[in-house]
C-alpha cells in the first residue's frame, strides 16, 4: 500500500512540475513575442515632434501612413496599402493548423504628423525590424463552404488550391494585416537626417528625417490601437 501511495505521489508531482513548466514556457513566449517587445519599447520611448528629433536618436513617431511609390494592393481585401502580411493555414487531420502560405510585401513610406513628415525605410534586412499588424481581415473555406473567386485566384497564383486531389474542399483559414493609406501607426527607429536632392510636393523643408533599424535597435512598426493612443508631446 505504501509503495502504491509513493508511486501515486511521484506521478502527481511529475504532473504538477510539467504543468508549471508549461506555464513558465507560455509566459516566456508571451514576454518575448513580437507584439509584447514592440509594446514595451513604445511604452518607454517618448514621442516627439519630428523637428525635435536628433540625429542617431532612437525615436518614436505616431502619425499616419502615406505612400512614397505606387501603393500596394492587399491580396484578400483589395485595400490600398504600403505594407501587408498574408497567412493561409490548412487544418491537418491530427495536429491542428499548418501554415500553407505566408507572404509579406513592403515598401518605404512616409509617416506624417501635424505638418511634418519622415520616411520609414523598409529596404533593410528582415533582422533589422520587428512589425506587428492586426490581422483585421479574415476568411475561411472548407466543408460546404467553397472558396470564393478571390481566394481561389490567390491560391492558384501561388501554386496552391482550395481542394484536394479528390476535389473535396480543404479546411483553410486566411488572415491579412495591412498598413492602409492614412492609417494611424506607431514607429520607432534610428533617426537620420538627410538632405533632399529633389523637393517633395507639399513638403517645405530641405532635409527630411529617415527612420532605420539595426541589429541591436530594431525598426518597430505597429498599428495596434493601444500603441497609437499616447501621441501627446
Look at residue 9 and tell me if it is in a domain: no
- Element housing 2 (H / E): helix 2-32
Look at residue 28 and tell me if it is in a domain: no
Look at residue 67 and tell me if it is in a domain: yes
Q: How far is CA 74 from CA 66, 87, 94, 136, in A?
A: 16, 12, 32, 12
Residue 232: pLDDT above 50? no
Task: Report the pLDDT value the prediction gives residue 17, as an integer from 0 to 100.
Answer: 59
Task: Give residue-wise pLDDT tens across range 83-136.
Answer: 999 999 999 877 789 999 999 999 999 999 888 899 999 989 999 999 999 998
DSSP state string for 133-191: ----EEEEEBTTB---HHHHHHHHHTT--SB-TTSPBP-EEEEEEEEETT-EEEEEEEE
State the burial class of residue 44 (Cβ atoms within 10 Å of its Cβ: 0-12, 13-18, 19+). Answer: exposed
Look at residue 8 and tell me if it is in a domain: no
pTM equals 0.80
Residue 176: pLDDT above 60? yes
Look at residue 169 and tell me if it is in a domain: yes
Number of independent structural domains in the chain: 1
Look at residue 144 and tell me if it is in a domain: yes
Q: What gap in Å lies between CA 188 and CA 119, rounded to an integer?
A: 12
- Element housing 115 (H / E): none
What mean pLDDT comes out for the span 217-224?
95
Q: What gap in Å lies between CA 195 and CA 224, rounded to an integer?
A: 32
| Letter string b/e over residues 8-28, b meaning 16 or more CB atoms within 10 A of that residue's CB | eeeeeeeeeeeeeeeeeeeee
Which range marks the domain in which residue 221 is found?
A: 47-228
Look at residue 165 and tell me if it is in a domain: yes
Look at residue 37 and tell me if it is in a domain: no
Per the CB < 8 A criterion, the answer to whether 98 and 89 are in contact is: yes
* Grid cell 523598409 in the structure block, residue: 122
Amino acid at each position: 500500500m505504501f509503495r502504491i501511495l509513493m508511486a501515486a505521489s511521484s506521478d502527481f508531482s511529475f504532473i504538477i512540475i510539467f504543468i508549471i513548466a508549461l506555464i513558465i514556457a507560455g509566459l516566456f513566449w508571451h514576454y518575448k513575442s513580437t507584439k509584447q517587445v514592440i509594446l514595451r519599447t513604445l511604452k518607454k520611448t517618448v514621442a516627439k515632434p519630428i523637428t525635435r528629433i536628433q540625429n542617431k536618436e532612437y525615436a518614436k513617431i505616431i502619425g499616419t501612413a502615406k505612400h512614397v511609390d505606387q501603393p500596394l494592393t492587399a491580396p484578400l481585401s483589395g485595400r490600398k496599402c504600403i505594407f501587408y502580411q498574408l497567412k493561409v493555414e490548412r487544418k491537418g487531420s491530427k495536429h491542428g493548423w499548418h501554415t500553407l502560405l505566408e507572404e509579406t510585401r513592403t515598401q518605404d513610406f512616409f509617416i506624417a504628423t501635424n505638418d511634418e513628415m519622415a520616411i520609414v525605410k523598409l529596404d533593410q534586412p528582415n533582422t533589422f525590424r520587428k512589425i506587428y499588424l492586426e490581422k483585421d481581415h479574415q476568411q475561411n473555406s472548407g466543408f460546404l463552404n467553397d472558396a470564393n473567386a478571390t481566394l481561389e485566384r490567390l491560391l492558384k497564383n501561388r501554386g496552391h488550391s482550395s481542394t484536394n486531389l479528390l476535389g473535396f474542399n480543404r479546411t483553410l483559414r486566411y488572415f491579412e494585416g495591412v498598413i492602409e493609406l492614412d492609417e494611424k501607426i506607431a514607429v520607432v527607429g534610428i533617426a537620420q537626417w538627410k538632405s533632399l536632392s529633389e523637393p517633395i510636393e507639399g513638403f517645405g523643408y530641405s532635409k527630411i528625417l529617415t527612420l532605420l533599424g539595426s541589429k541591436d535597435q530594431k525598426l518597430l512598426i505597429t498599428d495596434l490601437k493601444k500603441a497609437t493612443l499616447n501621441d501627446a508631446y
